[in-house]
Structure 1
Amino acid sequence: MPYARPTLTQLRQQALQDVQNGGIPGVVSLLRFSVLYVLSMVLCGLAWLHYGYIDWVSLQSVPWTAQDEFLAGWAALKNVFLKAATAASGSVSFAATGTSTIPAGTPITLTGGYVATTTADSVTTNGMTVANATMAAAGAAGNVPAGTIATLSSPVPGIQTSGTVTASWTGGADIEDQTSFRGRTIAAYQAGGTNGKPMDYVGWATDVAGITRAWCAPNGAGAGTVVLYIMLDKAQAAHGGFPQGTNGASTADPRYATATGDQLTVADAVSVDQSVTDLVIVCAPIAQPTPFVIADLGTANTEANQEAITDALQDMFTRLSSPKGTWQPPGAPYANGTIHPNMWEEAIAALGLPTFSVASPSAPVVGATNGCMPTLGTITFAS
């Protein structure tokens, strides 16, 4: 059983009893402001701090409770490292006159106050010039959508000052939180060595900044292939967590179309560790929205409760859903992205609503074809 750390009150009572019950001959009671009383209280405070320090040390002595630099030390023993924040990048286009171009290093301001810098001279064709740029600050906020207004911070001859983002920017991610870092560390200890098994591919994918979930489908596109499905729940929250880019392989593998965007970032990262003969294809799961009808709410059919139900169902799908046809770890109770009625009943029941019923769906939800992943669709509420 766990050790019961004494409270400060218990330590004080124990110290007074020790003094009064034979600790010092002739002392049977203590005045509150006597020297012995004050010394007893001071020593109790020091003892309580020592207990606290030992308690803290015990937490850092194992990876499942360690924090900060101590967790980083445990993780480093398994070659797992905290994912640093990364800066988003993408392209912007401006109307241009003749062959005018935007030089590398030109600052650009995007809607929302974000600042980016061009990384190479732009390419001008047919009255439009397209420049690649990278955000000045790292973070998921830099993953701006296509159509975002971009403005040259200083005029460039022959280039219109206002332009647009041509495709959603990708690659931006916040620094990894401790919960995610600890989960990856524990998974590394559980997995042992790496040899190209499905769990290794999942681990290599989730080691990439911004990737929160990944699934592996051995032979998913034929013999000798490995299909990796990825999600970026925080970095691409504006797109439901789905990666922005095109499916494909790494730049080092000529056997398949080269991926772009988030998929390319993961494919290039995995190519360093993957088995030499595998053709690794990184894909976005195919969203399969599941509509819900929540009835019998009665007086609980309020906006606040509707938001709570929506959050609970979204959390359920995030935790339990997976693309059909992907590998599941041994002992996993649900495969192929199956979501059962008891799962959504439990998620809503945990909110403590007086009454409710789920009129639809009424049967388990499963991915229609390989790669399809059930997601939360529209919700209809009724009293």
Structure 2
Amino acid sequence: MPYARPTLTQLRQQAQQDVLDGGIPGVSSMLRFSVLYVLSMTLAGLAWLHYGYLDWIAKQAVPWTATGEWLAAWGALKGVIRKAPSAASSPAVTFSATGSSIIPAGTSIILTGGLTATTTADSITTNGQTVAPAACATTGSAGNVPAGTSVTLSSPVAGIQTIGTVSEPFTGGADIETEDDYRTRVMDAYQDSERIGTEADYEQWALAVSGVTRAWVVRNGFGTGSVVVYIMLDAANAAQGGLPQGSNGCATKEKRYTTATGDQLRVANALWDEQPVTPLVLIMSPVLQPTDFVISDLGSNNTTDNKNLITSALQDMFERVSGPGVTISPNQWQEAIAAIGLSAYNIVSPSVPIVAENISSMPSLGTLTLET
């Protein structure tokens, strides 16, 4: 039975009773602004604060309720560190150029919303255009700018037009890991304490990389002795459907197979120092398998707001239960839509389980059509 912490009101009443019920001889009543009354209220307040402090200590004493630096300390005991924010980058920002003019590395560029990026290498000029890679100067998901966005040089460069375009999107920007997500990883580490290269270990190692929100492990997915880890970056690469931006492959130091690039390479290199020495570990992107939904008989429920609610419910369902090679049953999306509380509807399609086409395919939400 949990301990019932006294409320401030109860402590005040108790303090008054202690004074009046024989606590101080000759005192049978107290005026509201008397010295004894004020002292009673003060002592009750101090006792309430002490109860609160003891309650806080109890929460920090175990990892499943710890917060802040105490949670970080519990995580550090298992080698689980809170994921730091990361900066978005783009391999191609394009400006019109005259002759052979280039944008030197380190040039500042202004993005949408006043964000600043810096070119990471000298641009390459051909056919009147110069293209340079760039990275955001600050971390966070706000730096994930889509392709086609206008950008501006913060200071003029001779022979280069001031306004340019993001040719390839800025991706990889992620906010600092939320405390709830971090606590989940800490608890997973305590539940899987072996750290010898189990499926859970590979998943935890992948999830420890900034931006990675989901990971799946397939044994012998690339032949005997191989481990394939599929990853998703739902927030950092939201504009790309959460898919990692790069090419599939292995860590830089792995010489038995092609080296990955982009997000896949970041994860592969992070796993290199954690994984057992024998397996060939590949980091791969799932292949989205969109599934269209048709919902009829909505009547007056056929509104834009309800469509948004249904879309959100289905997206949440896919994010929770989908994965490479996974089969999703009808009751899973029926439960997701039923939770919205619509008075009438009929899910016309799909009507049978959604089966992944192969081990790399991951069912996802396609087009949602509502019919009255």
Give the TM interval when normalised to the shorter protein.
over 0.9
Q: Is 1:28 aligned to residue 36 of structure 2?
A: no
Q: Who is 1:373 aligned against? A: 362
1:148-159 → structure 2 map (5 Å cutoff) = 148-159=149-160
Report the residue type matching 2:102 in the other structure: T
Q: CA deviation at 1:107?
A: 1.1
Report the residue type matching 2:42 in the other structure: V
Q: Who is 1:84 aligned against? A: 84
Q: Is 1:210 aligned to residue 214 of structure 2?
A: no
Q: Distance in 1 between matches of 2:32 and 2:20?
A: 13
Q: Is 1:41 aligned to residue 41 of structure 2?
A: yes
Q: Is the 8 A contact 2:287 2:360 kept in 1?
A: yes
What is the TM-score of this pair, normalised by structure 2?
0.92
Q: CA deviation at 1:126?
A: 5.0
Q: Distance in 1 between matches of 2:22 and 2:116?
A: 73
Structure 2: state its 5+ residue gaps: none
1:274-353 → structure 2 map (5 Å cutoff) = 274-324=275-325, 337-353=326-342
Q: Distance in 2 between matches of 1:201 and 1:68?
A: 26
With 18-27 and 47-56 compared, the bigger mean Cα shift is at: 18-27
Q: Who is 1:361 aligned against? A: 350
1:54-73 → structure 2 map (5 Å cutoff) = 54-73=54-73
Q: Distance in 2 between matches of 1:226 and 1:321?
A: 20
Cα separation, partners in 2 of 1:356 and 1:267, compared to 1, 3 Å: same
Report the residue type matching 2:336 in the other structure: A
Q: Who is 1:327 aligned against? A: none
Cα separation, partners in 2 of 1:25 and 1:112, compared to 1, 3 Å: closer
Cα separation, partners in 2 of 1:354 and 1:29, compared to 1, 3 Å: farther
Q: CA deviation at 1:125?
A: 4.4
Q: Distance in 2 between matches of 1:311 and 1:270?
A: 33
Runs of 4+ in 1 over 6 A off after TM superposition: none
Listed one character per residue, the Cα deviations across residues 169-204 of structure 1 (whole Å, up to 9, x for unaligned) are 333211111111111111111111322222111111
Cα separation, partners in 2 of 1:133 and 1:64, compared to 1, 3 Å: same
Q: Who is 1:3 aligned against? A: 3
Q: Is the 8 A contact 1:101 1:121 kept in 2?
A: yes
Cα separation, partners in 2 of 1:27 and 1:112, compared to 1, 3 Å: closer
Q: Distance in 2 between matches of 1:54 and 1:355?
A: 51
Q: Who is 1:170 aligned against? A: 171
Secondary structure of 1:22's counterpart equals coil
Secondary structure of 2:323's counterpart equals coil
Q: Distance in 1 between matches of 2:35 and 2:296?
A: 70
Q: Percent identity?
A: 62
What is the TM-score of this pair, normalised by structure 1?
0.90
Q: Is the 8 A contact 1:312 1:347 kept in 2?
A: yes
Over aligned residues, Cα RMSD in angstroms? 2.1
1:72-111 → structure 2 map (5 Å cutoff) = 72-91=72-91, 92-111=93-112
Aligned residues: 371
